[in-house]
């Protein structure tokens, strides 16, 4: 399982976003991913892996029929502000609205 997900991470780094069949197995079984959150796009779960010595991170989005794997330029756990600005600017723009709602 670990080798499959390592290969998937390498492919995502080389080709950008890739789709994988669910038959690859859960990212949680690989030992390198942990549960996370992501922009709602109809997925059922999100997973992330941090890369030692790097500021980028691997993001797996689980849908009912497949996994989508892509590389975030900034790992949200290492560089949260940079992640919001570069990888998820639409989320950053929603923060003032959320603050207004919570007041």
pLDDT digits (tens, 9 = 90+) for 34-75: 999 888 889 999 999 999 999 999 999 999 999 999 999 999
Residues 6+ apart with CB under 8 A from 71: 12, 13, 16, 56, 57, 58, 59
**Cα–Cα nearest to 27, from 61, 70, 76, 52:** 61
Cα–Cα distance measured from residue 86 to residue 82, given in angstroms and rounded to the nearest whole number: 6
pLDDT at 91 over 90: no
pLDDT at 5 over 90: yes
pLDDT at 95 over 90: no
**pLDDT on residue 3:** 80
Mean pLDDT rounded to a whole number for the chain = 91
**pLDDT on residue 55:** 95
User: Percentage of the chain with pLDDT > 90?
Assistant: 70
């Amino acid at each position: 399982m670990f080798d499959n997900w390592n290969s998937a991470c390498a492919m995502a780094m080389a080709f950008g976003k890739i789709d994988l069949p669910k038959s690859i197995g859960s990212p949680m079984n690989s030992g390198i991913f942990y549960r996370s959150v992501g922009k709602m796009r109809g997925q059922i779960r999100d997973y992330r892996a941090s890369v030692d010595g790097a500021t980028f991170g691997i993001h797996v989005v689980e849908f009912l029929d497949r996994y989508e794997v892509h590389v975030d330029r900034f790992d949200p756990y290492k560089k949260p502000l940079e992640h919001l600005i570069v990888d998820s600017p639409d989320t950053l723009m929603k923060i003032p609205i959320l603050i207004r709602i919570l007041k």
